[in-house]
């Protein structure tokens, strides 16, 4: 089968959708398919390369509109690709629209993975999103044969997915259980940052306004309530809000308990998980469609602390592989952190359970189920 996946970016750009496209692409290749990826070039130069058997075409980015890259020659590139199936990825309306139109023009079926609803970042963005969801989305979504939701929960809670009826199929996201595992050596990372025997809470995410819903500000506020010198927050990620978060840590007087590690390589990322005692993802609203970092932590044998919003309850079972609190509830989040600090045996048990959860979500399973969807739409 000849497959073309289209996304805003591709690794080394870090993001949930980017990880998704990379992981299923290389596993689809391993299953004998010919896979092409079209995306914006950032942070690399435009061009076409072979990566793990995947043919990746990186195109120049003209500009960004509310965080979405506008990509030069995207339509022309998709028009010329010898593909039997097109697979777009949302929350980029630009990508979703163009894939739908090319699919219809060429008479080739298209599939869309709905990673999450568009986030309400500003009042202006909210107005545009509502225009998109009510007026623009209906003009192109009908060109898709299937829309993939990454959790059963999100297929019900999304502002959009419940309206799509039988178009929606649920295929949970995955994790590489070989890369992320409890046996990874944490020594180098703990030594690098002088972590000693302190309890390390890990946060992994982009520090941009488009990812403000991940709740790092809530986590910093909760850390100030924890008020323990032996609890340290390790933040992995980069973006325009980094200095704002750093200033917030100073104002809350927790700067000595927070390390901003910046971006780390994909090769090193599993070692940061290994160096932690738990992961926190205190997402604020339905913008969180899944939370891949939750599975990466569980695969490493870590318990997680998250919120009962969006698709998260489809990943985390409270008391089994992690703890769930209400969104934006600083006190509940602080209490959850203290619970894991003081009850290490319970945290270790949740970490072991998390590994079981992760193994049931290996990317090879995701790729096989996605392949089945391609076969179904080709048969329609």
pLDDT in tens, 252-303: 999 999 999 999 998 999 999 999 999 999 999 988 989 999 999 999 999 9
DSSP, collapsed to helix, strand or coil, labels residue 76 as helix
Alpha-carbon torsion (101, 106, 111, 115), positive or negative: negative
**Would you say residue 284 lies in a domain?**
yes
- The 8-class DSSP code of residue 337 comes to H
Q: What is the pLDDT of residue 263?
A: 92
Q: What is the pLDDT of residue 380?
A: 86
- The 8-class DSSP code of residue 134 comes to I
Q: What is the pLDDT of residue 210?
A: 83
193 shares its domain with 212? yes
Residue 126's pLDDT band (cuts 50, 70, 90): confident
166 shares its domain with 191? no
161 shares its domain with 201? no
**Would you say residue 221 lies in a domain?**
yes
**Would you say residue 8 lies in a domain?**
yes
Helix axes 16-30, 292-299, angle to 10 degrees: 60
Q: What are the distances in angstroms from CA 114 to CA 35, 89, 236, 304?
A: 20, 6, 25, 24
302 shares its domain with 214? yes
Q: What percent of the chain has pLDDT over 90?
A: 90
Mean pLDDT of 316-340: 98
159 shares its domain with 77? yes
**Would you say residue 182 lies in a domain?**
no
Q: Each residue of 176-227: pLDDT tens digit?
A: 999 999 999 999 999 999 999 999 999 999 998 889 999 999 999 999 999 8
**Would you say residue 180 lies in a domain?**
no
What's the domain range around 275? 187-359
Give residues with Cβ within 8 angstroms of 227, minimum separation 6: none
Q: Let me know if 238 is exposed, middle or buried by CB neighbors in 10 A (0-12, 13-18, 19+).
A: middle
338 shares its domain with 370? no
Q: Each residue of 156-182: pLDDT tens digit?
A: 999 999 999 999 999 999 999 999 999
Q: Where are the alpha helices (DSSP H) in 11-136?
A: 16-30, 74-80, 93-106, 123-131
14 shares its domain with 54? yes
| Angle value at C-alpha 299, between 174 and 277, nearest 5 degrees | 135
Q: What is the pLDDT of residue 15?
A: 87
**Would you say residue 179 lies in a domain?**
no
129 shares its domain with 208? no
156 shares its domain with 214? no
Q: Each residue of 17-53: pLDDT tens digit?
A: 999 999 999 999 999 999 999 999 999 999 999 999 9
Mean pLDDT of 330-358: 97
Q: What percent of the chain has pLDDT over 70?
A: 100
80 shares its domain with 194? no
Mean pLDDT of 334-348: 97
| Angle value at C-alpha 73, between 68 and 75, nearest 5 degrees | 85
Q: What is the pLDDT of residue 205?
A: 94
**Would you say residue 216 lies in a domain?**
yes
247 shares its domain with 122? no
At 280, give phi and psi (nearest 5°): -120, 130
145 shares its domain with 247? no
363: closest CA among 26, 110, 88, 114? 26
Q: Each residue of 43-100: pLDDT tens digit?
A: 999 999 999 999 999 999 999 887 789 999 999 999 999 999 999 999 999 999 999 9
Residue 374's pLDDT band (cuts 50, 70, 90): very high
Domain count, the chain: 2
**Would you say residue 181 lies in a domain?**
no
Give the CATH number for residue 354. Answer: 3.40.50.2000
Give the C-alpha separation, 182 to 351, whole Å: 9
């Amino acid at each position: 089968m000849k497959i073309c996946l289209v996304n805003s970016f591709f690794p080394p750009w870090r993001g949930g959708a980017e990880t998704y496209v990379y992981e299923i692409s290389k596993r689809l290749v391993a299953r004998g398919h010919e896979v092409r990826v079209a995306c914006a070039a950032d942070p690399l130069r435009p061009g076409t390369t072979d990566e793990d058997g995947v043919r990746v075409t990186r195109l120049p980015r003209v500009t960004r509109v509310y965080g979405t890259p506008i990509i030069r020659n995207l339509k022309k590139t998709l028009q010329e690709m010898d593909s039997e199936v097109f697979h777009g990825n949302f929350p980029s309306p630009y990508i979703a629209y163009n894939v739908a139109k090319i699919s219809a023009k060429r008479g080739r079926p298209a599939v869309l993975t709905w990673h999450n609803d568009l986030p309400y970042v500003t009042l202006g963005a909210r107005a545009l999103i509502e225009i998109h969801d009510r007026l623009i989305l209906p003009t192109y979504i009908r060109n898709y044969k299937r829309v993939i939701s990454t959790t059963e929960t999100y297929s019900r809670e999304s502002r959009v997915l419940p309206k799509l009826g039988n178009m929606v199929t649920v295929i949970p996201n995955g994790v590489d259980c070989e890369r992320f595992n409890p046996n990874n050596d944490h020594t180098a990372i703990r030594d690098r940052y002088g972590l000693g025997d302190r309890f390390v809470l890990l946060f992994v995410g982009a520090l941009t306004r488009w990812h403000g819903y991940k709740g790092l500000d809530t986590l910093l506020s909760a850390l100030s309530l924890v008020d323990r010198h032996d609890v340290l927050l390790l933040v992995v990620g980069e973006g325009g809000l980094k200095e704002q978060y750093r200033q917030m840590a100073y104002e809350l007087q927790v700067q000595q308990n927070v390390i901003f590690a910046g971006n780390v390589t994909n090769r090193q990322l599993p070692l940061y998980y290994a160096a932690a005692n738990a992961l926190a993802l205190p997402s604020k609203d339905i913008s969180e469609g899944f939370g891949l970092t939750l599975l990466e932590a569980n695969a490493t044998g870590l318990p997680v602390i998250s919120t009962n919003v969006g698709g998260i309850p489809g990943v985390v079972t409270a008391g089994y592989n992690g703890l769930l609190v209400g969104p934006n509830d600083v006190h509940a989040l602080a209490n959850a952190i203290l619970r894991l600090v003081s009850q290490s045996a319970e945290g270790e048990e949740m970490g072991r359970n998390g590994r079981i959860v992760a193994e049931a979500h290996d990317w090879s399973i995701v790729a096989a189920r996605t392949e089945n969807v391609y076969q179904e739409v080709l048969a329609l």
